Amino acid sequence: MFRNFLEKLQSAPDEKKKFWMILFTSIVMVILVFLWLAYFNNLVASLSRPSNIAQVQDNGTVAKSQDFSFAETVKNSTAIVSSFLRDRVNDLIKFFEKPKEYIIKP
């Protein structure tokens, strides 16, 4: 069945070959991205398990902390990276704004 399909595809015009190539590539990319996100979500969940310890509140009731979600992790990571980049840009601006000292030897 698959062999017959490939033989038909080999003898098909280039437009049809391009269509099938784009279709198969898109399907494979969607599957790979989905698997990668599922793996990443599982990895983040496994790394955040120690923080899911039940906490005792002041009134004696037990409250469990909420799980970290993929979106929260991406949001926090983006905030950390943007803060780091902002600090580096500010340092660079301060470097160019401070007065320069030149040593002139006669």
Q: What residue ranges do the domains of the chain occupy?
A: 1-51
CA distance 34 to 28: 10
Least Cα distance to 90 among 98, 99, 102 occurs for 98
Task: Note the pTM of the prediction, 2 decimals.
Answer: 0.41
What percent helix, strand, coil does the chain show, rounded to 5? 70, 5, 25
CA distance 49 to 88: 33
Tell me which residue has tokens 């790394």. Answer: 47
Between residues 26 and 52, the one the model is more confident about:
26
CA distance 9 to 26: 18
pLDDT (tens digit per residue) in 11-38: 999 999 999 999 999 999 999 999 998 8
**Model pLDDT, residue 75:** 83
